[in-house]
Structures are given as structure tokens and as C-alpha cells.
Amino acid sequence: MLIKEVTERVKKLTRTNLKFYVIVVGCGKIGLELATRLSKIGFNVTIIDKNPDALSLLPEDYGGFVIIGDATERETLSRAKAERADIIISTTEDDTTNYFISTVGAKIFGIPKVLSLVNNKENVELFEKSGIEVISPIHLAVYTSERRILEGFEVQEVFEDMDGEAK
């Protein structure tokens, strides 16, 4: 349900001719799916990965660009035209790599929106304090589970003000 909501919001943005240039780093399970979906929606997408075999898994209808290279190297991000990117999303399995790429994207290339996969929940606070928007598989799994559990129930929260009256 959450994915459908986000997809609809993004489609509305693209219908208003807001085209974003997105760099996705890492062509694993998450990066592959993300780059494919963003490309289908109409975003301009470049995906970067060191492993040509990973990039070969992109579907035939993927409409973006592909760069074989190490995104921790400035030259690779320059080849991806990072200075023109609206968004960079780092999705590797290594938090240190994701943090480095995200920081370089923001500080050196001036990319305004920076998102990163954070695999270790202890690292979430560091990323957030650095201004990096976090994608946490653990938090997403818990959030999705909670929503699914509560969908069948009528859950109402009643907040009381200082006088004890329900709002």
C-alpha cells in the first residue's frame, strides 16, 4: 500500500513536468528495483556499480544510464554528472561506503537531496545528524508490519489537552 501511495505521488509530479535527475549507487536488490521503478515513472536515472554482472540484471526496458565504476571515486561521480543531480541514493550493503558517497554527493557536488540505505540500526543517528535521509530496512519492516496489523482494527488515539478534554 505504501509503495502504491508513493508511486501515485511521484506520477503526479512527473505529470506536472517536474523531471528529476537521480543517481542510484549500488545495483543490488534495492538499487536495481529503485532505479528500474524511477526510470519507468519518468525520472532521469543513472545507476552506478563496480560489478558489471550486477548491472546486467537491469531489465531490458530500463530507460536510464549505466556506469560501471566505483562511486567512492570522484571521477566516477563526475562521469555521472553528479553536479547536475537532484537526488543521490546510495544503496550498497556497506554503511561506511554509503555514508562516504552521500557526504561527497552533498558537500562536493552540491546534490540537494541525499538518501542512503543504512543497514546497521546503530548508524541511523549518524546519518540523520549529517543531513542524510535514511532508508532503514529494519524500520521499514517494522513500520509495514505495524500498519498491516492495525489495518483491520479501528484504532483511535484520543489526545487530552491540559484540561482533560478530548480533542
Q: How many whole angstroms separate alpha carbon 60 and alpha carbon 41?
A: 15
Is the pLDDT score of 34 beyond 60? yes
Q: What is the pLDDT of residue 19?
A: 79
pTM: 0.79
Phi, psi values for residue 94, rounded to 5°: -110, 120
Instruction: Tell me whether residue 9 is in a domain.
Output: no
- The radius of gyration of the chain from alpha carbons, rounded to an integer in Å, stands at 19
Average pLDDT, the chain: 86
3 found inside a domain? no
Q: Is residue 164 situated within a structural domain?
A: no
String of b and e for 67-84 (b: at least 16 CB within 10 Å)?
Answer: bebebbeeebbeebebee
Domain count, the chain: 1
Name the residue among 24, 155, 46, 21 with its Cα closest to residue 102. Answer: 24
Q: What is the spatial distance between Cα 50 and Cα 140, in angstroms, rounded to a whole number?
A: 27
Q: What percent of the chain has pLDDT over 90?
A: 68
Tell whether 64 is covered by a domain: yes
Tell whether the model's pLDDT for residue 74 goes beyond 80. yes
- Considering the domain boundaries, does residue 162 fall inside one? no
Distance CA 16, CA 93 (A): 35
Q: Is the pLDDT of residue 166 over 50?
A: no
- 161 vs 79, more confident: 79
- 83: in domain: yes
Asked, for residue 102, whether it belongs to a domain, the answer is: yes
Is the pLDDT reported for residue 104 higher than 90?
yes
Is residue 163's pLDDT more than 50? Answer: no
Residue 97 corresponds to which cell in the numbers above? 561506503
**Is the predicted pLDDT of residue 138 greater than 70, yes or no?**
yes
Q: For the domain that residue 28 is a member of, what is the CATH number?
A: 3.40.50.720
For residue 159, name the pLDDT band (cuts at 50, 70, 90): very low
* Residue span of the structural domain in which 42 resides: 18-150
Q: What's the order of all strands across the beta sheet hosting 65-68?
A: 65-68, 44-49, 21-25, 87-90, 113-117, 133-135
Q: Is the pLDDT of residue 22 over 90?
A: yes
Examine residue 2 and state whether it is found in any structural domain, yes or no: no
